[in-house]
Amino acid sequence: MKPINFTKYISFLLVAYAFSFPVSRALTNTLEVLLVLLWLLEGNWEEKYNLYKRNLLSLSIFLLIGFSALSILWHGDVEVSLRYIAKYHHLITIFIFYSSFDRTYTKHVFSAFFLAVFASELLSYGIFFELIHYKNVSPRDPTPFMSHMAYSSVLAFTVSALLVKAYYEKTLKYRLGYLFFSLTASINLFVNGGKTGQVIFIVLIFIIGLHFIKSKIKAILIAVSTLTVVFLLAFNYSPNFKNRSIQLYNGLDKMILEHDFDHSGSRRVALSILGVDTFLDNPFLGTGLSYNMAHAEQYLKSNNFNLKNIKHYADYHSAFITISVQLGIIGLFISLMIIYALFTFKINSKEDKLISYLFATTFVLFSLTHNTLHTMSPMTFFALFAGLLNQPQIKKTNGPKIHRS
């Protein structure tokens, strides 16, 4: 009997996973179960182990999960801690990509992802113009499948990836298609209310300009001019963008002039300061996974912050600060390992290498304002592209054997 080609079926499922992530949590969860099942049945654990132990991202994720579990020994609260660790199951996809994905399907993963984002984008426009009523999604925040923060960050990355694809595309009709999609996604980004994604968009445009334009001064001028036009158009034609921009300005103004941290933008600054203070008071062992900001009020008083309802916040709205607080200096080290790994993938293709930098920048900036390694949409976004872009140096045959290229 001909042996089962697990690589082929896993690769098919990963393409489907790329489509499911932006549009359906239920489908994403189902595909993750199927992927893990095939990955386990594939076997070859000795060879997989030899791959993982030489890969920085794989080691970083293993350390994050392993040390989180180990920390229960000195922090206790087993039930709460295990529930917290269980959410890391979304990251298993990274290991599956690295050992069991056929890289000839990479373009199909991108295509599936772009198609799903485009579908989500069309629904978002329909909600915004009140042509479609979807669940309880408001036209003031037309993000149908995930939070506006996650959706805006995904859109910012999508726009940048499309621009890179358009630059390297040789066929005119496909290049025009990429450019058109990048334009509609950019407009959708500013129609929605996610400030995080809009800031990421600005940074990514600068990176792209500096990469493609030889004269750095010219690149900066073009990027600034483009972003100025985009900002003015968005401010004048997008009520969501205008209102949130004004809220952000007023919040930061009150933070600076009145030391008032209970407004848009300033809350995240306050939470970051509280997180750093908590880390400095617990640098070696951390606070544990079940800490849940138990002493946040005392840090509010010591910093003279007026942040209300602090008990409603489950973390510091920053993945790397949260991990560092929970696990101490080891958590900080793991955070730095993850960041370094994202920026140092070994990729021969100039196109994919640039996209990997854009993804790394997107995820790191996103993680500064959100606990991206503990909520589903950001975690699957991370698992999808960290896994995909972490694998180009791997080459597989049609059989179950794994080889280094």
DSSP states along 284-321: TT-S-TT-TTTTHHHHHHHHT-----GGG-SS-S-HHH
> Is the residue at 186 inside a domain?
yes
Domain around 232: 146-258
Number of domains forming the structure of the chain: 1
What pLDDT, on the 0 to 100 scale, is given for residue 310? 67
* CB-CB neighbours of 249 under 10 Å: 12
What pLDDT, on the 0 to 100 scale, is given for residue 405? 37
What pLDDT, on the 0 to 100 scale, is given for residue 8? 94
8 Å CB contact between 196 and 370: yes
> Is the residue at 187 inside a domain?
yes
What pLDDT, on the 0 to 100 scale, is given for residue 236? 78
In angstroms, what is the C-alpha Rg of the chain? 22
Dist. CA 199–CA 185, nearest whole Å:
15
What pLDDT, on the 0 to 100 scale, is given for residue 292? 64
Which amino acid does the sequence have at 103?
A: R
> Is the residue at 225 inside a domain?
yes
> Is the residue at 90 inside a domain?
no
Dist. CA 227–CA 281, nearest whole Å:
41
What pLDDT, on the 0 to 100 scale, is given for residue 291? 72
Dist. CA 299–CA 367, nearest whole Å:
22
> Is the residue at 249 inside a domain?
yes
> Is the residue at 14 inside a domain?
no
Question: For residue 261, what are the contacts with CB-CB under 8 A and spacing of at least 6?
Answer: 255, 267, 269, 270, 305, 306, 307
If you count them, how many residues does the chain have?
Answer: 405
8 Å CB contact between 310 and 297: yes
> Is the residue at 191 inside a domain?
yes
Collapse the DSSP code of 133 into the 3-class scheme (helix H, G, I; strand E, B; otherwise coil) and give the result. Answer: coil
What pLDDT, on the 0 to 100 scale, is given for residue 144? 87
Along the 405 residues of the chain, how does pLDDT read in single tens digits?
678 899 999 999 999 999 999 999 999 999 999 999 999 999 889 999 999 999 999 999 999 999 999 999 988 788 889 999 999 999 999 999 999 999 999 999 999 999 999 999 999 999 988 898 888 888 888 888 898 889 999 999 999 999 999 999 999 999 999 999 999 999 999 888 778 898 999 999 999 998 988 887 888 888 888 888 888 887 777 777 777 778 777 777 777 777 777 777 778 888 888 889 889 998 988 888 887 676 777 787 787 777 776 667 777 888 999 999 999 999 999 999 999 999 999 898 999 999 999 999 999 999 998 899 989 999 999 999 999 999 645 444 444 444 443
The 8-class DSSP code of residue 348 comes to -
Which amino acid does the sequence have at 4?
A: I
Contacts made by residues 381-385, CB under 8 angstroms, sequence distance 24+ = 381/21, 381/150, 381/153, 381/154, 382/91, 383/90, 383/91, 383/92, 383/93, 383/94, 384/17, 384/18, 384/21, 384/93, 384/109, 384/113, 385/157, 385/359
> Is the residue at 185 inside a domain?
yes
